[in-house]
């Protein structure tokens, strides 16, 4: 039995809620309810046989076509309708024709202080095919640019979340933190509402408590994930070029862990969120660019799009 087969062997149909929700310690507010059936590998993507890229949010198409929702001032919305001064497309890029630009100012309240794009919370019809379902094995590649003025406050600043699509799930199952002048991978247990934020300290070729935050250049990150709320079936490993701009290394060794959460006895689908979500104690304006987001069935397919030349 493969990793994906084992993760999907206990699936059961269930009803899920699509929700406007804050992540981490913030409150969640229900948006609408709908019934869904968790899908296996052959599920909602309807991928053409000629390609292994499942979907992209690489700023090459319209924001509303690439993202289900936005969480920023003036209000969380689906379809995505952020204030252009906070979230938009930029000609500054690592690949293709543009990247996504995020700006978060002191007091920017949207279920916590944030400027994020997401594939749910709230949901948009048609974007369910971009959710992650139990049993799926996925490669996710992307690039980040942290400017020299990125805040260095000694507190949390989340720039990536993979978390449940339903309200009240708590913190992300998989997260990336860029506070305290370092990058650190973290996550939570498979218990609904968990927010403990267990940290995965750097344990690969680059040792230490996380990795020094590289500023002023594009950073490549590739995630390899098997989705399951069963910690014996789920898996995560991460590759990146933090130490050397030309060389990819394993930043987080392969770990068996829960990559989803149980909700009413079933595994709640997960979704991707990127942008800035931070401790409101931070007063400095933060700016961030993200480019090339690609989800695929193979590493080569994900990286060939996310890391292609301009």
- pLDDT per position as a tens digit, 53-103: 999 999 999 999 999 999 999 999 999 999 999 999 999 999 999 999 999
- Percentage of residues of the chain with pLDDT beyond 90: 70
What local confidence, expressed as pLDDT, does residue 10 receive? 42
Across the range 127-136, mean pLDDT stands at: 97
Compute the average pLDDT of residues 252-258: 91
Segment 7-19 mean pLDDT = 39
**Where do the domains of the chain lie, and which CATH numbers do they carry?**
17-36+52-306 (2.60.120.200)
- Per residue in 171-216, pLDDT tens? 999 999 999 999 999 989 999 999 877 766 654 444 456 899 999 9
Confidence at residue 310, expressed as pLDDT on a 0 to 100 scale: 75
* Average pLDDT of span 5-20: 40
pLDDT at 39 over 80: no
User: Does the pLDDT value for residue 8 go beyond 50?
Assistant: no
What's the pLDDT at 198? 73
pLDDT band at 16 (very low <50, low <70, confident <90, very high): very low
At 28 the pLDDT is 33
The Cα 155–Cα 132 span in angstroms is 29
Give the predicted TM-score (pTM) of the model.
0.83
pLDDT of residue 152: 94
């Amino acid at each position: 039995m493969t990793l994906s087969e084992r993760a999907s062997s206990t699936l059961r149909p269930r009803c899920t809620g699509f929700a406007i929700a804050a992540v981490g310690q913030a409150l969640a507010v229900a948006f609408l309810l709908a019934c869904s059936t968790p899908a296996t590998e052959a599920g909602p993507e309807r991928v053409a046989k000629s390609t292994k890229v499942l979907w992209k949010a690489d700023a090459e198409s319209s924001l509303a076509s690439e993202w289900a929702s936005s969480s920023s001032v003036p209000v969380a919305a689906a379809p995505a309708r952020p204030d252009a001064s906070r979230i938009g497309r930029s000609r500054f890029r690592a690949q293709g024709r543009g990247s996504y630009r995020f700006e978060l100012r002191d007091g920017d309240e949207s279920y916590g202080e944030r400027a994020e794009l997401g594939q749910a919370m709230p949901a948009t019809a048609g974007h369910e095919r971009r959710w992650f379902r139990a049993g799926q094995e996925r490669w996710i590649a992307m690039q980040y640019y942290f400017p020299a003025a990125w805040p260095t406050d000694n507190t949390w600043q989340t720039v990536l979340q993979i978390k449940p699509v339903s309200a009240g799930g708590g913190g992300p199952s998989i997260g990336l933190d860029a506070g305290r002048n370092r990058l650190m991978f973290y996550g939570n247990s498979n218990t609904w509402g968990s927010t403990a934020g267990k940290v995965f300290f750097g344990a690969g070729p680059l040792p230490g408590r996380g990795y020094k935050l590289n500023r002023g250049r594009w950073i490549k990150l590739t995630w390899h994930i098997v989705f399951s709320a069963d910690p014996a079936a789920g898996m995560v490993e991460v590759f990146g070029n933090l130490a050397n701009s030309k060389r990819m290394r394993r930043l987080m060794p392969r770990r068996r862990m829960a990559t989803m959460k149980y909700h009413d006895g079933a595994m709640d689908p997960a979704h991707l969120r990127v942008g800035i979500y931070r401790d409101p104690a931070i007063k400095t304006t933060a700016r961030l660019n993200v480019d090339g987001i690609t989800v695929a069935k193979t590493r080569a397919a994900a990286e060939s799009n996310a890391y292609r030349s301009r």
